[in-house]
Amino acid sequence: MNQQAVNDKDLKEKIAVNFGSAAPEYHKQATLQKEAAERLIASLKPWRDILPKGPIIELGCGTGFVTKGLATLYPNREIVATDLSPRMVEYCQEQLSDFDNLTFAVRDAENVPEGEPEYALTISGFTAQWFKDPAQTLGKWLEAIKPGGLLLTSFPGNESFPEWKQKCEELGLPYTGNELPDIEELVVKMSLGPAQIDYYEDTVTQTFESAEQFFREFKYIGASTQKKGRALTPKELSLLIDHWNESADGDITVSYHLVFLAVKRDYDS
């Protein structure tokens, strides 16, 4: 196993552990993710009766925001809810034990099944940003979908956090947020396959009492894992927080670039 593979494995283990340990807090505090999940399920409703036969698979079920909507919308269809984190899978199963059409599995979404297309729908809420190559991974999942089936996903896009980036620039500090998917690049790459692609972008703002509260939220919900690059030193982080707080008029505002992507696999593929 080469060093890159080792590093990728270590990173995934860290992501799984951080999200798993934060599962109860994630379920209570991940309001943006819950809102995005509700919008993702709402966008799926017109497809309820026209998907081909076959199971549904969810990538990155977390604590069950999307999963609950799926189980309610498709009570007579097999749904497999998966996540990289064993604790997240366990927590999700505990939350949704009343649904008998759900099965659960610990799974790395970047390991895509090969062979004949199996799924009618692959759905993923706020997970694709953790993939090493979102376009490649989603493209492979599209190949696992039956003709006429759908790949549906949401994620924060690369135009998120302009305020954070601006404050770093003002201080000459590196921006240390994780790289997020570029929707235009992703669509171009996925358009090479037999698919019809549609997407919707939105900007959602959240307010925090302080910059420190904003940064703490990442840790509270388990999303603080840094994929690459260096972290700010404690002194640099303190400088950034103080500068951001001082330049704000009361609460600070943070903007998220939300992307909703729908890819239908063509029948002639």
Alpha-carbon gap, residue 208 to 163, rounded angstroms: 13
In this prediction, residue 1 carries a pLDDT of 41
Q: Is the pLDDT of residue 124 over 50?
A: yes
pLDDT tens, residue by residue, 183-220: 999 999 888 777 899 999 999 999 999 999 999 999 99
**Residue ranges per structural domain of the chain:** 3-159+179-203+257-265
Query: What is the pTM (predicted TM-score) of this model?
Result: 0.94
Whether the Cβ atoms of residue 164 and residue 254 lie closer than 8 Å to each other: yes
Taking residues 144-165, report their average pLDDT.
96
Of 35, 31, 47, nearest to 262 by C-alpha is 47
Q: Is the pLDDT of residue 4 over 90?
A: no
Alpha-carbon gap, residue 235 to 257, rounded angstroms: 29
At CB < 8 A and 24+ separation, what contacts does 177-180 make? Answer: 178/129, 178/226, 178/227, 179/227, 179/228, 180/129, 180/155, 180/156, 180/257
In this prediction, residue 168 carries a pLDDT of 97
CATH number of 3-159+179-203+257-265: 3.40.50.150
In this prediction, residue 104 carries a pLDDT of 98
Task: Give the tokens for residue 54.
Answer: 């076959």
| Mean pLDDT for all residues in the chain | 93
Place of tokens 């003709």: 147
In this prediction, residue 268 carries a pLDDT of 62
Taking residues 56-63, report their average pLDDT.
97
